[in-house]
Amino acid sequence: MHKTVLLNETIDGLLAPQKAGNENLVIVDATFGGGGHSLEICKRCPSVKIIALDQDKSVFEKAKDKFKGCDIVFINKNFRDLDIKMDSVDGIIFDLGLSSDQLENSGRGFSFMKDEPLLMTMKEPARRSLGAGGNPSEYFVTADDVVNTWGEENLADIIYGYGEERYSRRIAKGIVDARHKRKIKSTFDLVQIIREAVPAGYRRGRIHFATRTFQALRIAVNDELGVLKTGLEKGFDALKTGGRMSVISFHSLEDRIVKKFFREKKDGGEAFLINKKPVLVSEEELKNNPRARSAKLRILEKI
The predicted pLDDT at position 17 comes to 65
pLDDT tens per residue across span 4-19: 899 999 999 999 766 6
pLDDT above 50: residue 106: yes
Give the span between the Cα atoms of 181 and 201, in whole angstroms: 27
Note the pTM of the prediction, 2 decimals.
0.88
The predicted pLDDT at position 19 comes to 63
Q: Which of 26, 53, 55, 59 is nearest to 42 (CA)?
A: 26
Q: Which of 218, 220, 171, 170 is nearest to 191 (CA)?
A: 171
Is residue 87 part of an annotated ligand binding site? no
Average pLDDT, the chain: 90
Is residue 79 part of an annotated ligand binding site? yes
pLDDT tens per residue across span 110-161: 999 999 999 998 875 444 444 444 444 455 799 999 999 999 999 999 999 9
* Domain over 107-222 is classified CATH 3.90.230.10: no
The CATH code that applies to domain 7-101+224-302 is 3.40.50.150
pLDDT above 50: residue 266: yes
Other CB atoms within 10 A of residue 128 CB? 16
Is residue 35 part of an annotated ligand binding site? yes
Is residue 54 part of an annotated ligand binding site? yes
Is residue 36 part of an annotated ligand binding site? yes
In the chain, where the domains are located = 7-101+224-302, 107-222
